[in-house]
């Protein structure tokens, strides 16, 4: 059995027994680092490539132990709370074990591809009985292309089925080498309009849409699931959804289209990272809103549509 090389990557976390990220029970490997800055990002801790720390200020008693433990002087107590100088923080996490209240959360760890495959392989029995496997997500997994390829190759050599979740915001030369290792691609189209996409994510969608078309025309055998998060008042215009339907209708490898309801599950992490959440006034849509938008899209596209993994009839 071929072993993956000792390529190192920055891993955010592993999540086990997911039923939403492909067939069967999945182990989801989240990698750190993403070129997009989506206004609604629910995992802001995945954006930076380097390991970083968050702090739950409600738990902090200002004992100062973390300040003394930091070798780079990145921590200080100002205005009644611990402040982090993000430029000085090296992600060494010396501050984590000294906190008596577990107020500090580490985000990210360096790991070799071989170590990651060993961790994933612990769930082989569940994959075998459920028809599941590995899904690599992020952040943006294609931001660590060599590590991603080695993990996928190592898992496939063990007979583990592999999928990825990607924005496809990457050069094609980083995408093409990983396609032979996957059986399913989940990819997002945040908005079909290039300028609106730029305003919402920081980057237009030209490369993303081109990459999806090229992957669809690839000789490799895998299915495609297109996902779009629906945020009320942000990307839910009927005209734009119809344009998206026209694009999706031509994809030969498409298994289904999925709309994901906007949620606010990452807002506490923004606080821990001392980041502003700019969509603070927007509330999650109700089931009727999601169904109406999905039916509009389905009529225009003529494809299978799901909302949060539930089939729309």
Orientation of helix 238-248 relative to helix 287-301, angle to 10°: 50
CA dihedral 159, 11, 188, 167 (to 10 degrees): -100
Strand 305-307 versus strand 310-311 pairing type? antiparallel
pLDDT, mean of residues 291-295: 98
For 262, counting Cβ atoms within 10 Å of its Cβ (0-12 exposed, 13-18 middle, 19+ buried), the class is buried
pLDDT for 177: 98
Residue 180 predicted with pLDDT over 70: yes
Share of the chain above pLDDT 70, in %: 98
Give CA separation, 133 vs 24, 111, 156, in Å.
7, 20, 10
pLDDT for 6: 77
Q: What is the pLDDT of residues 249-289, one digit of tens each?
A: 999 999 999 999 999 999 999 999 999 999 999 999 999 99
Q: What is the pLDDT of residues 29-68, one digit of tens each?
A: 999 999 999 999 999 999 999 999 999 999 999 999 999 9
Residue 3 predicted with pLDDT over 80: no
pLDDT for 1: 44
For residue 86, give the nearest of 72, 98, 65, 96 by alpha carbon.
Answer: 72
8-48+109-311 has CATH 3.40.309.10 classification: no
pLDDT for 5: 60
CATH for 52-105 (3.30.70.1050, 3.30.70.20, 3.10.520.10, 1.10.150.130): 3.30.70.20
For residue 53, give the nearest of 80, 79, 89 by alpha carbon.
Answer: 89
In whole numbers, what is the pLDDT of the chain averaged over residues? 96
Query: What predicted TM-score, i.e. pTM, was given to this entire model?
Result: 0.93
pLDDT for 91: 87
Cβ atoms of 26 and 60 within 8 Å: the answer is no
The domain ranges of the chain are 8-48+109-311, 52-105
Q: What is the pLDDT of residues 124-174, one digit of tens each?
A: 999 999 999 999 999 999 999 999 999 999 999 999 999 999 999 999 999
Residue 4 predicted with pLDDT over 70: no
- Name the pLDDT band for 301 (thresholds 50, 70, 90): very high
Residue 24 predicted with pLDDT over 90: yes
pLDDT, mean of residues 119-124: 98
């Amino acid at each position: 059995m071929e072993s993956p090389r000792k390529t190192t990557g920055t891993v955010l976390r592993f999540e086990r027994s997911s039923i939403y990220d492909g067939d069967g029970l999945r182990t989801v490997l989240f990698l750190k680092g993403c070129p997009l800055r989506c206004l609604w990002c629910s995992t802001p801790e995945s954006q930076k490539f380097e390991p970083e720390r968050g702090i739950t200020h409600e738990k902090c008693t200002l004992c100062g132990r973390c300040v003394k433990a930091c070798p780079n002087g990145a921590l200080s107590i100002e205005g009644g709370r611990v402040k982090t100088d993000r430029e000085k923080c090296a992600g060494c996490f010396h501050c984590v074990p000294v906190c008596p209240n577990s107020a500090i959360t580490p985000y990210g760890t360096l790991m070799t591809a071989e170590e990651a495959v060993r961790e994933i392989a612990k769930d082989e029995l569940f994959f075998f009985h459920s028809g599941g496997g590995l899904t690599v997500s992020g952040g943006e997994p294609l931001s660590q292309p060599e590590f991603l390829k080695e993990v996928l190759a190592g898992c496939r050599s063990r007979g583990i089925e592999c999928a990825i979740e990607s924005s496809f915001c990457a050069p094609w030369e980083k995408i093409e080498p990983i396609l032979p290792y996957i059986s399913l691609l989940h990819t997002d189209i945040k908005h079909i309009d290039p300028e609106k996409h730029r305003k919402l994510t920081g980057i237009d969608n030209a490369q993303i849409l081109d990459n999806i078309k090229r992957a669809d025309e690839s000789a490799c055998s895998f299915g495609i699931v297109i996902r779009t998060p629906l945020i009320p008042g942000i990307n839910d215009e009927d005209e734009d959804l119809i344009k998206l339907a026209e694009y999706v209708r031509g994809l030969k490898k498409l298994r289904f289209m999925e709309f994901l309801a906007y949620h606010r599950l990452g807002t506490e992490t923004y606080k821990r990272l001392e980041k502003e959440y700019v969509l603070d006034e927007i509330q999650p849509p109700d089931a009727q809103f999601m169904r109406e938008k999905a039916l509009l899209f389905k009529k225009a596209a003529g494809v299978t549509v799901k909302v949060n993994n539930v089939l729309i009839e």
